[in-house]
Amino acid sequence: MEHSRETIAMLIDADNSPSDKIDFILSEMAKYGVVNIRRAYGNWKSHSLKGWENKLHDYAIRPI
């Protein structure tokens, strides 16, 4: 019998969330289903979000 996987949307407040935790967060979320919507919201002109630049690309997270 095939098990259905839950579909999960991950919406990140990048202004208030550290980028170095994304590995752990995605691995935990994978236990509950497939994370197929990945968005990070923030002021992308801000220098404080530079840490997110590589993570967005590496994990297919869409900046909003």
Q: How many domains does the chain have?
A: 1
Predicted TM-score of the model (pTM): 0.84
Domain encompassing residue 58:
7-63
Counted residue by residue, the chain has a size of: 64
For the stretch 11-59, pLDDT in tens is 999 999 999 999 999 999 999 999 999 999 999 999 999 999 999 999 9
Does a structural domain hold residue 31? yes
Contact present, 15 and 52 (Cβ < 8 Å): no
Predicted local confidence at residue 3, as pLDDT: 55
Does a structural domain hold residue 2? no
Does a structural domain hold residue 33? yes
Does a structural domain hold residue 17? yes
Three-state secondary structure of 3-52: CCCCEEEEEEEHHHCCHHHHHHHHHHHHCCCEEEEEEEECCCCCHHHCCH
Predicted local confidence at residue 6, as pLDDT: 87
HSE (side-chain half, CA atoms, 13 Å) at 32: 10
Does a structural domain hold residue 1? no
Query: In which band, very low, low, confident or very high, does the pLDDT at 1 lie, cut at 50, 70 and 90?
Result: very low
